[in-house]
Amino acid sequence: MMKSLLATLAGLAALLPMAASAATVEVDLGLTRYPAVRHLDAGSYSGVSEGRVVVHVGDAVVFVNRDADGHHTASALPGNRFPADPRFTDAALRAGGSIGPAAWSTGDLAPGMRSQPIVAGSPGTYLYGCFYDYQAGMRGEIVVEP
């Protein structure tokens, strides 16, 4: 009886869809490498490649500072349009949080640095900008799908 139960369970497990493995997406930050002004529904941006990334819940995003001499961050912005003044606080200079409706940031990234992976926590569209270069257009959008 135990063998037939195990065989039945094994057969049922084979019918279940395989869980997708989490992916990591890399976003380059660099005003000197990506100076062209591009446009999203949220507004104009530059200094980011790709400006809009699509990930799934559980995936991670890693930000890489590709500039030779400038510090950058990728820090959460509220709303669905890039604000004229993001009103960043010093908290944007400290890494923490997950991509979602609450605050998150890569923290300060010196030239050549990579952020820790930031996990996408809940579905939605989330905007971010650079603490140092927001007014120069360094901002982007992350779409998190279920």
pTM over 0.75: yes
Q: How far apart are CA 84 and CA 47, in angstroms?
A: 17
On whether residue 16 sits in a domain, the answer given is: no
On whether residue 130 sits in a domain, the answer given is: yes
Q: Which two tokens stand for residue 60?
A: 């991670």
In the chain, how many domains are there?
1
On whether residue 9 sits in a domain, the answer given is: no
Name the phi and psi angles at 92, rounded to 5. Answer: -65, -15
On whether residue 121 sits in a domain, the answer given is: yes
CATH code: domain of residue 92: 2.60.40.420
DSSP state of 99: B
On whether residue 118 sits in a domain, the answer given is: yes
| Neighbouring-strand partners of residue 126 | 142
- Note the pLDDT tens digit of each residue in 57-66: 999 999 999 9
- Note the pLDDT tens digit of each residue in 10-42: 444 444 444 457 899 999 999 999 999 999 999
Q: How far apart are CA 12 and CA 9, in angstroms?
A: 5
Domain span holding position 113: 24-139
